[in-house]
Structure 1
Amino acid sequence: MNVDNVQSLLVTQLMTQIMQKSMGDNIGFQMALESVMKGLADNTDSNIAKSISMNGQSGQNLESFLSDRADLINTSMETETSSVAPKTKDEKINSAIEQASKKYGVDAKLISSLIKQESDFNPNAKSSAGAMGLMQLMPCNVEDFGVKNPYDIFENIDAGTRELRGYLKRYNGNIELSLAAYNAGPGTLEKRGVTSVDDIWKLPSETRTHVKKVMGYYRG
């Protein structure tokens, strides 16, 4: 929920309460509320003011009511916004994982397990091979996915999850093979004739360990 939506919600609730109190729950109330709601939908102060003024005495009461309670509205908005917007590193990471999971249809726990193994949740991690950030994006991944800042939590997790989703599709949902490809690259799997979980022993020990640890986190 963004700030504009929060503001609209709060103002609408206050409008409904004062208008209903002034006019009663009748056809006049319904028409007045509809007019004001249209002004809110247009999202301009002039339209809202016009909608208020068109509703006579109830509009004056509403305008006075909202003016007298401006501090309350602002405080409520700040409280709502602060409760939604992630602030700490862990909150940002959890929020980014949730967003990427919904966007790409990948299990959030799998994303989290992969991040645990790749960087131990360190957004600034960088390997000797040049892999960057939480999901250890390689420079080619950064370029392919249009990542502007590989150390940005949301960009990094979005791109890493997108890459993982691609491997899951390529290997028909097989998680172990997808994790192996994420670590060693699909070309390595092809060269070594890895076509099933039973073939993972053919891969480098680093990749075998990687798959085993991620699966341990995922199943734990």
Structure 2
Amino acid sequence: MERGDAKMEASERTSSELPRLSKGTRPSLRKVGLHGGETKDDAKANLSALLRERAPRFGSASIFVAIVLQVVVVLGLAALARLVSVRLENLNQLAHAQSDTVERLVRQSVLLAADGETLRGQVADLRAFVASRSAEDVIFLKTVIIKPKIDRPRAREISRLVHKYASLHGQDPDLVLAMIAVESDFNPEAVSHMGATGLMQVMPQWKKVLGIQESLTDPETSIKYGLQILGFYKSMYKDIETALTAYNRGPGPVDSALMRGRDPTNKYVPRVMKTYEILKALTVGEA
């Protein structure tokens, strides 16, 4: 009995003195060692018991890690779902905005098509206005060229009036400028010894014939009625040089010369025609 008790005490002492295994340390019989009368079988049994004691701890850690991974996956999927939802909403808003833009453009196109005739008319009016201003500027430049010392505001006014009434009466503005240059040298106050007055040297008797109320020294009055008189002579004689002669000399001398078979023209016509040719040569595109 005493030997048996001694063995049990030695075994208990050996178990209590068995070193504890740290996490991740592989148990070894060499490190554990044998104490007292402990046999190898006893040591192995004690080691197995120790491993069984540690095993639940390693299993709990694995379960915890698995749970954490599942939570991360779930949270990631939720965030991804929210991102996809936001993107889809943005795409829907963009689609609606583009649809509204297309509809607005379609409505504008319909309105433009419906208003096409008016728009074309406005474009035509604009082109006519630009062409008119361009022609007026050309007349102004020609006026300054043949009369370099002319007052610029006066030149601008004369060019405007020449363009206006030449277009109204179907006359060549270069011919009108040539007549003004020869008749009055662009002086609206000019009066001849015969009483012809103004830029186009209209005779006073025409005031009664045409019912002119304004002064013949007024540039617009002179050009307006001067071209009306020229048109009257052109329709009478059918020839520009004869019409110019009648404008300068009057119809009486012209008819008398024609009845006698003579040339009715005088020095006035060659001067006008020479100035006219100079002005025509200044026109771009003219041969």
Where 2:198 maps in the other structure, the secondary structure is coil
Residue of structure 1 equivalent to 2:275? 217
Contact 1:189 1:195 in 2 (8 A): no
**Cα distance in 2, alignment partners of residues 121 and 151 from structure 1:** 11
Where 1:135 maps in the other structure, the secondary structure is coil
Counterpart AA for 1:165: G
Q: Does 1:166 align with 2:259?
A: no
Deviations 1:164-189 (A, max 9, x none): 111111111x1110111001111111
Residue of structure 2 equivalent to 1:124? 189
**Cα distance in 2, alignment partners of residues 104 and 155 from structure 1:** 14
Counterpart AA for 2:192: S
Could you tell me how far 1:142 is from its partner in structure 2? 2.3
Q: Where in structure 2 are the equivalents of 1:43-122 lying within 5 Å? A: 88-122=153-187
Which of the residues 206, 219, 223 maps onto 1:153? 219
TM-score, with length taken from structure 2: 0.43
The structure showing larger relative contact order (alpha-carbon pairs under 8 Å, at least 6 residues apart) is 1
Deviations 1:118-165 (A, max 9, x none): 001111111121111000011111222233121111111010011111
**Cα distance in 1, alignment partners of residues 155 and 208 from structure 2:** 26
Counterpart AA for 2:226: G
Distance 1:219 1:145, change over 3 A: same
Deviations 1:63-103 (A, max 9, x none): xxxxxxxxxxxxxxxxxxxxx9x981111111111111111
Contact 1:104 1:161 in 2 (8 A): yes
**Cα distance in 1, alignment partners of residues 159 and 209 from structure 2:** 24
**Cα distance in 2, alignment partners of residues 214 and 185 from structure 1:** 16
Counterpart AA for 1:167: Y
Residue of structure 2 equivalent to 1:41? none
Contact 1:134 1:151 in 2 (8 A): yes
Where structure 1 has 5 or more consecutive residues not aligned to the other structure, the ranges are 1-23, 35-83
Residue of structure 2 equivalent to 1:190? 255
Question: Hey, which bits of structure 1, 4+ residues long, moved more than 4 A?
Answer: none
Where structure 2 has 5 or more consecutive residues not aligned to the other structure, the ranges are 1-103, 116-136, 141-151, 279-287
Q: CA RMSD in A?
A: 3.3
Could you tell me how far 1:194 is from its partner in structure 2? 5.7
- Greater C-alpha Rg: 2
**Cα distance in 2, alignment partners of residues 185 and 194 from structure 1:** 15
**Cα distance in 1, alignment partners of residues 276 and 240 from structure 2:** 10
Residue of structure 2 equivalent to 1:144? 209
Distance 1:213 1:163, change over 3 A: same
Counterpart AA for 1:141: W
Could you tell me how far 1:192 is from its partner in structure 2? 2.2
**Cα distance in 1, alignment partners of residues 191 and 217 from structure 2:** 9
Where 1:143 maps in the other structure, the secondary structure is helix
